[in-house]
Each structure stands twice: as C-alpha cells, then as structure tokens.
C-alpha cells in the first residue's frame, strides 16, 4: 500500500482539497480529506493525462512539415509524412516512437489514443515501441479490418478518402471502437462520417449546427487538436460550441507538427478559447479516457492509479492563487515530481 498526501484534484470537478490518495495493487482504494494537517500542501496530485489523439508514427519526421499545409504535410497517401514513414526502416521507426512515448510518460501522460498508419505492421511496431514503458497505448489501426487482430479499434483517415463501411462493421462485430477524422479541411466529410455512426470523431473544425445535432443524437465524443489545426492552417475548432453538444477531449495530433505535451496543449487551449481551467483539465484527462473506456482520468476509489504529482513549490508554481489554473495554464515538465502509471 502507498499513500500520497498533498493538494488533491479529486473527482470529476477537480475541486482542490488537502488530502491523501491511497493506492493498493495499482488501484485507488481511498481518497480522504484531511482537515487538520501539517503536511506539504504545495504538492499537487491530479489524474495523469490521456492524450485523446496522436500520430506517434511520424516521430521520424519532427518539424519536417514546417510551413506546409494539410494536404502536403499529412494527407494520405502521398504527403510528406507518408513519404518519411515509408522511407524509415523498422528499427528507426520503433526507436523514434519509443523516444516520443518516453517523453509523453515523463510529461505526465498515462495513456494515448493513437491513429497508426500501415495496418497490421504499423500497429505491431507501435506495440513494440511501447514495451517496457509505463504508458497505455490504445491503438486505432488502419487499412483493412484484419488490423483488429492486433489493434484496439479502427481509425479511419476520413470519409472522403475511402469507403470504410466494412471496417466499421468489423469493429462493431468485435465490440471495439471505430474512430474517424472529420471536418478538418472542410465540412464535406462530416455527414458521411456520421453515417458510419463512429464512436469517436476527430477535429470537427468546420462543424455546424446541423452536424452537431446529429453528434448529440448519436452521443459521439469529439477529440480536438487546436495546436495542430493552427499549424496546418485549417482553422479554429469551435470548442465552446462543441461542448454544448457532447464530451470533448484534447489531443496533440501529429508528432511531426508539435511535441506531444499535454501541458502545452492545455495552456494553448486555455489561453485561446473562453473555457474554465476545470473544463480544459477534464478534456485532457477524463474525456479521453471515457471516450474509449479506459479506467483512468479521474481520482476516485476503484480507478486505476494513473496519477501525476507536481511540485507546487517549484520556482514556476510557487505562489499560485489556484492549483487548477496553475496545472492548466502554467505548469511544465520541469514541475513534474512523479508520474504514477
């Protein structure tokens, strides 16, 4: 049994309290408030992050797409990303992904939902890259339905790229999630994507009311990646509006475009959109976990002990007025005291 004490951002509201989190055999068994204490209130204990959308495979091409637009940078099948991925040998690809995953783990990410290119082989290389690391890889495989033998779900590039009806049916038959990009360059692929009744939509930059009414009816969560959208010049996801219709999770998208730091993604989102810090933190933790049924993202009894401990007395965080604002808007990897996954 292990006990952590400090300022705990517990439950779905993340209301700060001084307390303790009790961990046994990898799970949280108790979260207790301590009213009279003389312990270190500066330590901040929160759920470790869940990156709701990533492309870890293009770790072999960091910053290769500077100043390129969406089509030239990442669109299948002939973008710079796909050229670099095809040119990389297996050892190089695995090592690059391993180093990205290690960075994600060090910066507080407990789990990530990755769209992995190149079918079965692509999914296998990501599994290999994650071996030995305390980070949970939820892999959305690509190409044909056979990838579901090694992946956790199917990830479609977009409804305008191909007919994904059979892959959607295969995912449903296996009881695993089907996710799809939609509304990134424009709105033309949103209705076709919704026709597939996906379990997760990614981007929805150009979503309008007619689309979001269907999203609400289908109870489909959305993963947004505002920094990547900005880099690729596709627009600003209407996060404030999306939240009125469904759950919204936060992802970092392509490693070639941005470092997969949830600290950076939260700070950018909080300072670009009119959102409370609690909402942004929920997007970076609970929403991503619940989108695919992961047992983390909230500090409460019974959940997996995927926790992030920050030094609230670091030179950066010392003297903050609100610990939730501090986590979302100010904290960096240098403030990480410990990651428990």
* pLDDT, tens only, 159-210: 999 999 999 999 999 999 999 999 999 999 999 999 999 999 999 999 999 9
Collapsing DSSP states into helix, strand and coil, what is residue 271? Answer: helix
pLDDT (tens digit, 9 = 90+) per residue, 296-320? 999 999 999 999 999 999 999 999 9
CATH (domain of 24):
2.30.40.10
User: Coil, helix or strand for 163?
Assistant: coil
Q: Are residues 325 and 284 in the same domain?
A: no
CA–CA distance, 150 with 127 (Å, rounded to integer): 9
Per the CB < 8 A criterion, the answer to whether 329 and 279 are in contact is no
Same domain? For 206 and 110 the reply is yes
Whether residue 88 is found in the same domain as residue 183: yes
Say what the pTM is.
0.95
Measure the CA–CA gap between 151 and 145, rounded to whole angstroms: 10
Answer yes or no: are the C-beta atoms of 239 and 265 closer than 8 Å. Answer: no
The two three-digit tokens of residue 52, written as one number = 């709701």
Can you tell me the distance from the alpha carbon of 222 to that of 204, in angstroms, rounded to the nearest whole number?
7
Same structural domain, 193 and 121: yes
pLDDT at 78: 72
CATH classification of the domain holding 107: 3.20.20.140
Q: Assess whether 228 and 176 both reside in one domain.
A: yes
Residues 31 and 61 in one domain: no
**Count of CB atoms situated within 10 Å of the CB of 250:** 28
Residues 106 and 129 in one domain: yes
What is the domain extent for residue 280? Answer: 49-292
Burial of 130: CB neighbours in 10 Å, binned 0-12, 13-18, 19+: buried
Do 158 and 277 lie in a common domain? yes
Same domain, 173 and 311: no
Displacement of CA 29 from its chain's centroid (Å): 25
165 and 107 part of one domain: yes
Contacts of 315 (CB under 8 A, 6+ apart): none
With a cut of 70, which residues of the chain have pLDDT below it? 39-40, 68, 72-73
In terms of domains, do 141 and 258 share one?
Answer: yes
Please report the pLDDT score of residue 39 as a whole number.
Answer: 63
The whole-number pLDDT of residue 339 equals 97
Domain count of the fold of the chain: 2
The closest alpha carbon to 198, from 241, 169, 239, belongs to 169
Question: Do residues 256 and 301 both lie within one domain?
Answer: no
In the listed set 292, 311, 326, which residue is the last one of a domain according to the structure? 292
What is the token pair recorded at 331? Answer: 């904290």
């Amino acid at each position: 049994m292990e006990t952590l004490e400090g300022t705990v951002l517990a439950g779905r509201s993340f209301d700060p309290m001084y307390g303790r989190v009790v961990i046994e055999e990898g799970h949280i068994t108790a979260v207790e408030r301590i009213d009279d204490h003389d312990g270190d209130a500066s330590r901040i204990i929160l759920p470790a992050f869940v990156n709701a959308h990533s492309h870890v495979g293009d770790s072999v091409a960091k910053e290769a797409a500077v100043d390129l637009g969406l089509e030239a940078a990442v669109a299948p099948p002939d973008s710079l990303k796909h050229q670099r991925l095809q040119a990389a040998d297996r050892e190089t690809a695995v090592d690059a992904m391993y180093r990205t995953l290690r960075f994600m783990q060090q910066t507080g990410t407990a789990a990530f939902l990755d769209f992995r290119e190149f079918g079965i082989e692509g999914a296998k290389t990501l599994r290999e890259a994650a071996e030995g690391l305390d980070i949970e890889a939820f892999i959305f495989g690509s190409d044909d339905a056979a990838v579901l033998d090694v992946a956790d779900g199917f990830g479609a590039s977009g409804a305008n790229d191909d007919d994904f009806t059979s892959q959607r049916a295969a995912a449903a038959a296996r009881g695993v999630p089907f996710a799809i990009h939609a509304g990134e360059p424009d709105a033309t692929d949103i209705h076709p994507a919704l026709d597939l009744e996906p379990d997760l939509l990614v981007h929805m930059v150009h979503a309008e009311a007619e689309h979001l009414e269907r999203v609400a009816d289908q109870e489909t969560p959305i993963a947004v990646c505002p920094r990547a959208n900005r880099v690729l010049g596709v627009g600003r996801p209407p996060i404030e509006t999306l939240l009125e219709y469904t759950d919204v999770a936060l992802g970092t998208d392509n490693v070639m475009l941005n470092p997969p730091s949830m600290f950076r993604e939260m700070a950018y989102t909080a300072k670009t959109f009119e959102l409370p810090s609690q909402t942004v933190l929920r997007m970076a933790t609970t929403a991503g976990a619940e989108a695919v049924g992961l047992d983390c993202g909230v500090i409460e009894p019974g959940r997996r002990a995927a926790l992030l401990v920050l030094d609230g007395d670091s030179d950066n965080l010392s003297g903050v007025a609100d610990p939730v604002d501090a986590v979302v808007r100010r904290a960096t990897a240098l403030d990480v005291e410990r990651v428990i996954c």
